[in-house]
Structure 1
Amino acid sequence: MSYQPIKVEFVNPFLDATSAVFKTMLNTELKRGQLYLRQGVPQSHEISGIIGLSGKAKGTVLIGMSSDFAIAATNRLLGEQADGLTPEVIDAVGELANMIAGGAKTRLEELNMSISLPSVIAGKNHSVSFPSGAVPIGIPFESELGSFAVEVSLVEVT
């Protein structure tokens, strides 16, 4: 199977949207780490918010994090103290993924894309399948709330 490399102009909108969402909604600055390819890198997220994209490009965006990060982000977002992976935490992770995908979508207008409703998977050692034909790019981030990653798998439809 041949793989289509993801274009940098597809990744940058997700980087910018992630920084904007965390600055605006969580009042926290992000420090970006070294990009990585998902191929051969084991997933270590305890909770993942997932958004499907379709249009002139199709793919998946995943925001993956530890449960501690998800709880801290939810507490900041809602101004309440969640204790564990409550339904509010699950919803908040989905909403963060939705805001990041929506923010990136506005920068990718030439691809005429639609985004799906977010889904969230929780549990240690879960796995998420990305569309075939693309190697997902992972973008790790650090913040005062902890670390998380955004993984983008996006290919143009020919």
Structure 2
Amino acid sequence: MKVEYLNPFLDASRSVIQELGLGRATVGKIEIAPNPHGSGGLLSMIGITGRLTGRVLYDMNESTAINIAGVMMGETLPELTQMARSAIGEFTNMISGNAATILKERGFAVDITPPTVITGGQMTLTDFGEMNVTLVVPLILNKGVVTVNLAIKEAHKHGG
């Protein structure tokens, strides 16, 4: 997977995080994994189609999700409610939508699917088809850590 696919997600993440009043995001150590892992307790998964194909997963623990959703909703949340999960879906949708816009500006026209938010611990997703590399990037916020798992590649070209 090319780094040029990752940078739009990092740029979009920083921008959305700052716009929402979540402070600044610092990029932690980038790792390569064969499959995306969700160990935090909440995953938001978004599909990518078009010139590039694959998925991006945003992984965070419940406390981070509650903190981010609380800022987005303008209130202190005691627990991870359905509305808070919906806010996290919107948070990750905003990042992915902005990344898709950046990718399009760079010649990679893509669409994104609506987010699927999953809760639970220690998840490993193995349904990534031909994806054999996932970039794992922790974004460190003052509200917690959001780990971006990015597995995308250039789509096969078809004649026509």
Q: Same fold (TM over 0.5)?
A: yes
2:22–2:68 contact (8 Å) kept in structure 1: no
Q: Secondary structure of 1:111's match?
A: coil
How many residue pairs match? The answer is: 153
Please list every run of 5 or more consecutive structure 2 residues that lacks an aligned counterpart in the other structure.
none
Please state how far the C-alpha of 1:130 moved relative to its aligned partner.
5.1
Distance (whole Å) between structure 2 residues aligned to residue 131 and residue 69 of structure 1: 26
Q: Which moved more, 1:20-29 or 1:34-43?
A: 34-43
Please state how far the C-alpha of 1:112 moved relative to its aligned partner.
1.7
Residue in 1 aligned with 2:109? 112
Query: Hey, which bits of structure 1, 4+ residues long, moved more than 4 A?
Result: none
Residue in 2 aligned with 1:86? 81
Q: Percent identity?
A: 29
Distance (whole Å) between structure 2 residues aligned to residue 132 and residue 26 of structure 1: 37
Residue in 2 aligned with 1:45? 40
Q: Does 1:7 align with 2:2?
A: yes
Match of 1:146 among 124, 144, 149: 144
Distance (whole Å) between structure 2 residues aligned to residue 70 and residue 57 of structure 1: 28
Letter in 2 for 1:27: L
Q: Does 1:20 align with 2:15?
A: yes
* Structure 1 segment 96-135 matched on structure 2, within 5 A: 96-109=91-104, 110-129=107-126, 131-134=128-131, 135=133
As a proportion of its length, which structure holds more strand?
A: 2
1:48–1:93 contact (8 Å) kept in structure 2: no
Residue in 2 aligned with 1:157? 155
Distance (whole Å) between structure 1 residues aligned to residue 59 and residue 119 of structure 2: 10
Please state how far the C-alpha of 1:133 moved relative to its aligned partner.
2.2
CA RMSD of aligned residues (A): 1.5
Distance (whole Å) between structure 1 residues aligned to residue 83 and residue 2 of structure 2: 35
CA separation of 1:75 and 1:137: change in aligned 2, threshold 3 A = same
Please state how far the C-alpha of 1:41 moved relative to its aligned partner.
7.6
TM-score (norm 2): 0.89
Distance (whole Å) between structure 1 residues aligned to residue 68 and residue 7 of structure 2: 23
